């Protein structure tokens, strides 16, 4: 397991080798957020190339609450159950699967993504596979993205498990219960930094490259011991 603490201090060692830490003095928070930014950049790229292992993913479980007809009417309240996550889900880079939580029997049901506009057609379908599936869709309510879970049978799920790559993996690590609450005493430095170790060198390289470019914002252009501002500096990303 690679911790956030190790990630930060390993990167500080790289900064020392480039003599950047003495010149600017980056905080732990800056370094961590900077690395997270390039972790996201690299994992998006690898996702497009279908080169992501499960080492980059996290899974957490969150409660579901019933959606009332007044809040978001179901297609037919007499023949379907509509639920949503109790809180917005964590912002994600890739959402791999939404399932029922693992139970004692080891059974897990994978939910199928559906366009909410097509739910009524599923209800009218005569195929059992169409009508008995548990489906979900994502909806941005303006207060975050929620998972809405729909089923035409009477099965009432209490929670779902979400497997994905998240922009803020430390917040996922800090979730203390199925209500999605964060542990206020959680030690973020000792939390796991989810990434395939084979990709870590590339993350460091991308993050360091941007800082080295930013270093040219102030440079002695005329070799006269005076700092001259470059006209087109490369900003921090």
What DSSP designation does 99 have? E
Please state, in angstroms and rounded to a whole number, the distance separating the CA atoms of residues 208 and 202.
10
| Confidence category of residue 66, pLDDT binned at 50, 70, 90 | confident
Nearest 5 degrees, angle CA 118-CA 124-CA 128? 100
pLDDT of residue 133 exceeding 80: no
User: Regarding beta strands 159-166 and 218-219, do their DSSP bridges make them parallel or antiparallel, or are they unpaired?
Assistant: unpaired
Instruction: Return the minimum-mean-pLDDT range out of 63-72, 74-83, 180-189.
Output: 74-83
State the pLDDT at residue 103: 74
State the pLDDT at residue 24: 57
What DSSP designation does 222 have? T
Q: What is the mean pLDDT of residues 221-234?
A: 39
Least Cα distance to 167 among 55, 45, 33, 52 occurs for 33
Average pLDDT, the chain: 81
Q: Which of the two residues, 76 and 120, has the higher pLDDT score?
A: 120
| Confidence category of residue 233, pLDDT binned at 50, 70, 90 | very low
Instruction: Return the minimum-mean-pLDDT range out of 17-21, 50-54, 113-117.
Output: 17-21
Please state, in angstroms and rounded to a whole number, the distance separating the CA atoms of residues 179 and 184.
14
Instruction: Return the minimum-mean-pLDDT range out of 70-79, 88-97, 137-146, 228-237.
Output: 228-237
pLDDT of residue 14 exceeding 80: yes
- What SS3 class is residue 121? helix
| Confidence category of residue 70, pLDDT binned at 50, 70, 90 | low
Please state, in angstroms and rounded to a whole number, the distance separating the CA atoms of residues 234 and 216.
8
State the pLDDT at residue 104: 73
Q: Which of the two residues, 69 and 118, has the higher pLDDT score?
A: 118
State the pLDDT at residue 188: 94
What DSSP designation does 85 have? E
């Amino acid at each position: 397991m690679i911790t956030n603490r190790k990630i930060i201090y390993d990167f500080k060692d790289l900064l020392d080798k480039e003599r950047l830490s003495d010149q600017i003095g980056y905080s732990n928070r800056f370094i961590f957020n900077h690395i997270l930014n390039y972790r996201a950049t690299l994992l998006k790229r690898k996702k497009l190339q279908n080169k992501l292992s499960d080492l980059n993913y996290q899974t957490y479980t969150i409660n579901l609450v019933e959606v009332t007809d007044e809040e978001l009417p179901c297609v037919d309240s007499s023949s379907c159950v509509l639920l949503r996550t109790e809180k917005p889900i964590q912002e994600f880079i890739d959402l791999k699967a939404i399932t029922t939580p693992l139970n004692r029997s080891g059974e897990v049901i994978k939910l199928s993504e559906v366009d909410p506009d097509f739910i009524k057609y599923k209800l009218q379908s005569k195929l059992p596979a169409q009508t008995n599936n548990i489906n979900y869709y994502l909806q941005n309510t303006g207060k975050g993205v929620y998972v809405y879970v729909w089923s035409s049978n009477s099965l009432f799920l209490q929670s779902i498990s979400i497997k994905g790559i998240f922009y803020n993996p430390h917040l996922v690590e800090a979730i203390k219960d199925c209500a999605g609450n964060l542990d206020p005493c959680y030690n973020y430095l000792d939390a796991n930094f989810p990434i395939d170790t084979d990709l870590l060198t590339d993350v460091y390289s991308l993050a360091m490259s941007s800082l080295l470019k930013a270093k040219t914002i102030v440079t002695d252009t005329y070799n006269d011991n005076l700092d001259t501002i470059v006209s087109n500096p490369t900003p921090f990303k």
